Amino acid sequence: MKSAVTICLLPEARQGPFVFHDGLAAACQVAAQLGYDAVEVLAASGQTFPVTELQRLLAAHGLQLAAVGTGAGWIKHKLHLCHQQASVRTEAADFITGIIDAAGACGAPAIIGSMQGCFAGAVSRDKALDLLADSLATLSDKASRHGQTLLYEPLNRYETNLFNRQADAADFLKQRSLHNVRLLCDLFHMNIEEADSAAAIRAVAPHIGHVHWADSNRQAMGLGHTDPRPVIACLREIGYHGYLSAEIFPLPTAASAAQTSIESLRKVITVVTAITAITAVTAITT
Contacts with ligand LER by CB under 6 A lie at 69, 71, 113-114, 153, 155, 159, 186, 212, 247
Q: Which is nearer to Mn ion, 111 or 143 (CB)?
A: 111
Q: Which is nearer to Mn ion, 186 or 194 (CB)?
A: 186
Please list, in sequence order, all residues whose beta carbon lies within 8 angstroms of the beta carbon of residue 154, skipping any fewer than 6 positions away. Answer: 160, 162, 163, 164, 165, 166, 168, 169, 183, 184, 186, 189, 193
Asked if 242 contacts 185 with a C-beta cutoff of 8 angstroms, the reply is: no
Smallest gap from Cβ 71 to ligand LER, in A, equals: 5
Taken in order 151, 157, 159, 160, is the CA torsion positive or negative?
positive
Taking CA atoms, 140 is separated from 48, 190, 229, in Å, by 22, 24, 32
Smallest gap from Cβ 275 to ligand LER, in A, equals: 29
Q: Which is nearer to ligand LER, 98 or 113 (CB)?
A: 113
The interface partner of residue 89, options being Mn ion, ligand LER, none and the CB cut-off 5 to 8 Å by kind, is none
The interface partner of residue 114, options being ligand LER, Mn ion, none and the CB cut-off 5 to 8 Å by kind, is ligand LER
Residue 212 lies near Mn ion (rule: CB under 5 A): yes
Alpha helices per DSSP H over 23-182: 24-34, 51-61, 72-75, 86-105, 125-144, 166-175
Identified binder of Mn ion from the candidate list 8, 65, 247, 272, rule CB under 5 A: 247
The interface partner of residue 159, options being ligand LER, Mn ion, none and the CB cut-off 5 to 8 Å by kind, is ligand LER
- For Mn ion, the binding residues in 46-75 under the rule CB under 5 A are none
- Residue, CB closest to Mn ion: 186
Residue 186 lies near Mn ion (rule: CB under 5 A): yes
Closest CA to 208 of 169, 251, 240, 160: 240
The interface partner of residue 37, options being Mn ion, ligand LER, none and the CB cut-off 5 to 8 Å by kind, is none
Q: Which is nearer to ligand LER, 142 or 212 (CB)?
A: 212
Q: Which is nearer to Mn ion, 123 or 201 (CB)?
A: 201
The angle formed by the CA atoms of residues 35, 39 and 40, to the nearest 5 degrees, is 150
Phi-psi domain of 273 (left: phi exceeds 0; alpha: psi -120 through 50; beta: other): alpha
Q: Which is nearer to ligand LER, 140 or 191 (CB)?
A: 191
Smallest gap from Cβ 40 to ligand LER, in A, equals: 9
Taking CA atoms, 16 is separated from 9, 20, 175, 248, in Å, by 11, 10, 33, 8
Smallest gap from Cβ 247 to Mn ion, in A, equals: 5
Smallest gap from Cβ 145 to ligand LER, in A, equals: 24
Closest CA to 74 of 132, 17, 13, 22: 13
Largest CA distance in the chain: 66
β-partners of residue 39 are: 5, 65
- Residue, CB closest to ligand LER: 113
Smallest gap from Cβ 67 to Mn ion, in A, equals: 10
Q: Which is nearer to ligand LER, 17 or 233 (CB)?
A: 17
